Amino acid sequence: MVSLRTMPRKVVALGALAILAFDVLASLASRAIGFPYSYAVFGSWLIYAACGYLVGRQTDVGTAALGVAMIAGVEATIGWALSWAIGPGRLPNGFPGYDKIVITVLLVIATGAVIGAITGWLARSRH
């Protein structure tokens, strides 16, 4: 059963900090080296997977999904704002509109939840 009471807060907090640091570093590297910032998504997914696995080892699959969804929510809001300020997170056509921002944030959170559920399940099956 999904529960915030059993959520390993340290894992989620460290995951949120890690994802923000990664977003900043990826943004700076993208500007400096010129690689497409969209390639950084694989690094984000790796952080989601690691956090989902760690949460899943301590709790259940649903809580792992929720924990990673929370981390993804941080990335989709604060992380995107940081990368937008640095440059690579900006969209080519400027401000996309609030509806597209909301949809993007929800898709990132949903992706995080799925990765968290899968890696949480892997952790539970091996534990």
Indicate the domain borders of the chain. 9-126
Q: How far apart are CA 35 and CA 16, in angstroms?
A: 24
* 68 compared with 95, residue with greater pLDDT: 68
pLDDT tens digit string along 90-118? 677 777 788 888 999 999 999 999 999 99
Q: How far apart are CA 127 and CA 57, in angstroms?
A: 7
- What is the H or E stretch that residue 40 is in? none
Q: How far apart are CA 112 and CA 118, in angstroms?
A: 10
Instruction: Give the pLDDT of residue 127.
Output: 66
* pTM assigned to the model: 0.91
Predicted confidence band at 87 (pLDDT cuts at 50, 70, 90)?
confident
Cβ–Cβ < 8 Å for 56, 12: no
Instruction: Give the pLDDT of residue 1.
Output: 65
